[in-house]
Structure 1
Amino acid sequence: MLELRPDCERCGLDLPADVAGAHICSFECSFCAACTAGPLAGVCPNCGGDLQPRPLRVGAALAKYPASAERKHGR
């Protein structure tokens, strides 16, 4: 199951699990749309993989399987 990290690892923008705009690589590194389209040019800076839109988790699924609360920006 995807971890659904709560923030962009580059700029710290909040990435709610039930709102479109987050992008992930195959290792679940998470970035906002602005960082993905801009400075990152669609490539994960951690692993070199491509960044794809992250699926949403909404309603009962989000309630039963909440998104991660561990923020990754500023490690």
Structure 2
Amino acid sequence: MLEIRPSCECCDRDIAPESTDVLICSFECTWCRECAETVLHGVCPNCGGELVRRPVPSPSRLAAGRVSNVRVLSESCGSR
């Protein structure tokens, strides 16, 4: 099950769990679309992996509150 993180690891912008403007790598590093495209150019700075759109959780998972509240900031992000 994916860990649905609440913010971009680069700019720390809040990201709604149901947003379709979120990209992740295979390790679930989480980025807003703006940082993923303009700062990271589609490559995760943590692992070098491809960034793809994060699936939107099911309504039942959202209703149950099963999303992460842990904010992660990457020291590898070039925008800070």
TM over 0.5: yes
Following TM superposition, the consecutive aligned residue runs of length 4 or more in structure 1 with deviations greater than 4 angstroms are none
Q: Compared with structure 1, are the counterparts of its residues 24 and 74 closer, same or farther at alpha carbon in structure 2 (3 Å cutoff)?
A: closer
Question: For each residue in 1:13-37, what CA deviation from the matched residue of structure 2 results, as whole angstroms up to 9, or x when unmatched?
Answer: 1111112111000000000000011
Q: Which residue of 2 aligns with 1:18?
A: 18
Does residue 68 (structure 1) correspond to residue 72 (structure 2)? The answer is: no
Q: Which residue of 2 aligns with 1:35?
A: 35
Structure 2 portions without partners, runs of 5+: 76-80
Does residue 46 (structure 1) correspond to residue 30 (structure 2)? The answer is: no
Equivalent pair of 1:17/1:58 in contact (CA under 8 Å): no
Report the TM-score when normalising by structure 2: 0.85
Q: How many equivalent residue pairs?
A: 75
**C-alpha distance in 1, partners of 2:24/2:11?**
14
Q: Give the superposition deviation at 1:59.
A: 1.9
Identical residues among aligned pairs (%): 44
Report the TM-score when normalising by structure 1: 0.90
Structure 1 portions without partners, runs of 5+: none
